[in-house]
Amino acid sequence: MKGSMLTILQCQVVEEELELSLGELCQACGAESDLVGQLVAHGVLEPRGDSPQGWVFVGASLQRTRQAMRLMHDLELNLPGVALALDLMEQIRQLEQQLQAAARSPRGG
Amino acid sequence: MEFKDYYQTLGVSRDASADDIKHAYRKLARKYHPDLNKGADAEAKFKELGEAYEVLKDPEKRAAYDDVGKRWQGGGGRPPPDWNAGYEFSGADLGGDFAEHSDFFEALFGRAARGARARAQGMPRGQDHHAKVLIDLLDAYRGAQRSIRLHAPALDAQGRLSMAERTLDVAIPIGVREGQHLRLAGQGAPGFDGGAAGDLYLEIGFHPHPLFRVDGRDVILDLPVAPWEAALGATIDVPMPDGSVTLTIPAGSAEGRKLRLKGKGIPGKTPGDLFVVLRVTLPREASATQQQAWRSLAQAYQGEFKPRAAMEVK
């Protein structure tokens, strides 16, 4: 695996160009499918499709799943805890955006 | 090699109970977790916490660590020659895949924890790998070819784990943003028994830029302007991440006014905006003539400009 490579590797932006099946998401995150199923059950992930075999996850699910796994591992959170933490973090993000938009709107002068 | 005081990292005493240690870790981990704390040193601090907790929560590791600590102190602050030899551990638990350990930790407990996971699942396909890489803001505007150096644990000829380095030449796509992931097919861990290699995911971050800040798709520039430029309006050449534009500052602009350059942020299907924030800047010094000019200004506004009207003191 050593040695320099001369070819330029092409890549895809996961969040923009890709959708993932359950298997692909598990592989990409090193997650058990059970865990992903639980994240879906708690509304952390919202795939299209009715059954686990048919689930299609948007690319951003990769980031969200890894974040959930980090929080569960690092902060020893359980699933309801991690679902709550992610919801609150999302709310903070939206509020920060609104705050910035509000700071932008009043005209100078 | 520096001795790591894990007790100090967690702020507990050497005879702290398992509960004390857990409690201290949880509290500090919530404070410094990089997902929750965007501070510059939060990530490094959190890694230290994680490493300390990983050792102190595990009775076997804690005992070995305490033992090493005693021998280390006996040597007058220098490590005894074989300080880390002869400690044996059961199993490889813990999500070591997220953790990067200090040299001290790896010398004592080894790196085996990371490699062992790959085989545990018995999947023929190689594991997917993740790495964080920093690119320049300009790369996101124009696209770029970048050589990226990665270090990953690999088995050597003797079957031991060591760190191997490799360089990948990657085409950075235009419009990639902070926090997004690039997938490089087949660049993860090799497969087993002829199985396919895993993929490599690169999480993108930007090198700090001396002029521009980035917020998702949007880019922000603080633009210093002279008081008269803000008051009278001006036409100014302004740097952009990929060039420059000529910007008209409207007359009567206040400090902090944001001017939006639509679509001049990070490119993409929905391109971001670039915000120029006006920073009214005063000259540092004033000659006698310039002081006179300020005085005439004061006179011209006498009684009409009351910046503190809302906070009048009786």
Q: What is the pLDDT of residues B21-34, one digit of tens each?
A: 999 999 999 999 98
pLDDT of the residue at B118: 41
Calculate how close chain B gets to A38, using CA atoms only, in Å: 19
End-to-end CA distance of chain B: 66
Residue of B nearest to A15 (CA): B180
Would you state the pLDDT for residue B117?
Answer: 42
Say yes or no for a CB contact (<8 Å) between A14 and B201.
Answer: yes
Burial B164-198 (b: 16+ CB within 10 A, else e): eebebebebbebbbbebbbbbeebbbebeeeeebb
Interface of A with B in 10-49 (CB under 8 A): 10-16, 18, 27-30
pLDDT of residue A98 exceeding 90, the answer is no
Question: What pLDDT, in 10s, does the model give residues B55-108?
Answer: 999 888 898 888 888 877 766 666 766 667 666 654 434 344 445 678 788 777
Buried b / exposed e over B116-126, threshold 16 CB at 10 Å, is eebeeeeeebb
Q: What's residue B116's pLDDT?
A: 38
Band of residue A21 on the pLDDT scale cut at 50, 70, 90? very high
Q: Which residues 56-85 of B have a C-beta within 8 angstroms of A?
A: none
The 3-state secondary structure of B185-218, one letter per residue: CCCCCCCCCCCCCCCEEEEEEECCCCCEEEECCE
Return residues 157-186 of B near A (CB < 8 Å): 164, 166-171, 173, 175-176, 179-184
Among B25, B181, B270, the residue to mutate for chain A (most A Cβ within 10 A): B181
pLDDT of residue B89: 58
How close does chain B come to A33, measured CA to CA in Å?
12
State the complex-level ipTM: 0.78
Q: Does A53 touch chain B (CB under 8 A)?
A: no
d(CA B83, CA B69): 9
Q: What are the residue ranges spanned by the domains of chain A?
A: 14-104
Whole-model pTM above 0.80?
A: no
In CATH terms, the fold of domain B212-311 is HSP40/DNAj peptide-binding domain (2.60.260)
* A103 vs B contacts (CB less than 8 Å): 258
Fold classified for B1-120: Helix Hairpins (1.10.287)
pLDDT at B111: 54
pLDDT of residue B43: 87
CATH topology of domain A14-104: Multidrug-efflux Transporter Regulator; Chain: A; Domain 2 (1.10.1660)
Closest CA to B126 of B184, B193, B190: B190
* Unique residue bearing structure tokens 């880019």: B219
Low-confidence stretches of chain B (pLDDT < 50) are: 90-98, 112-121
pLDDT at B81: 66
Nearest chain B Cα distance for residue A44, angstroms: 16
* Chain B nearest CA to A21, separation (Å): 15
Domain ranges of chain B: 1-120, 124-208, 212-311
Please check whether the two domains, B1-120 and B212-311, share a CATH topology. no
> What CATH topology corresponds to B124-208?
HSP40/DNAj peptide-binding domain (2.60.260)
